[in-house]
Amino acid sequence: MSKKKYKILIVASSFYNDVTSKMINSAEEELKKNNCSYKILQVQGSLEIPTLISIKLKKEKYDGALALGCIIKGQTTHNEVIASTITSSLLNISILNLKPVGNAVLSCSNLKQAIARTRGSKNRAAEAVNAIISVLDNI
């Protein structure tokens, strides 16, 4: 548990709402355990997440941000392009703003895989929250 109280921005995609709602709940639980405050905003798709995080980090005071979303592979490799673009964008936002940005945008082959990553020890949202806090605790 963190000794400091941090304010975290959560931006979640509503596209696969059954998956992202579980991720939001997990992130909230982990943030509360660590005595962090947070604000949750939703966008339609995962590709919009970095844009909103970038805007909000410039305009409002947050210690870090968390990206929550889900990309499921279709008949092409378009999902790989989207996931790669989001990952690069989030890292750039983190470096430019000198704030940790956790990436819990899932890129899965199917919905079953995505749901599995929202539970138990493979819970990506909780892992991303703890990654953000670990960076903040070392600043």
- DSSP secondary structure, the chain, as one string: --SS--EEEEEEE-TTHHHHHHHHHHHHHHHHHTT-EEEEEEESSGGGHHHHHHHHHHHS--SEEEEEEEEE--SSSHHHHHHHHHHHHHHHHHHHHTS-EEEEEEEESSHHHHHHTTSGGG-HHHHHHHHHHHHHTT-
59 is catalytic: no
Which of 32, 58, 78, 119 does the annotation list as catalytic? 78
Q: Which residues are catalytic, by number?
A: 78
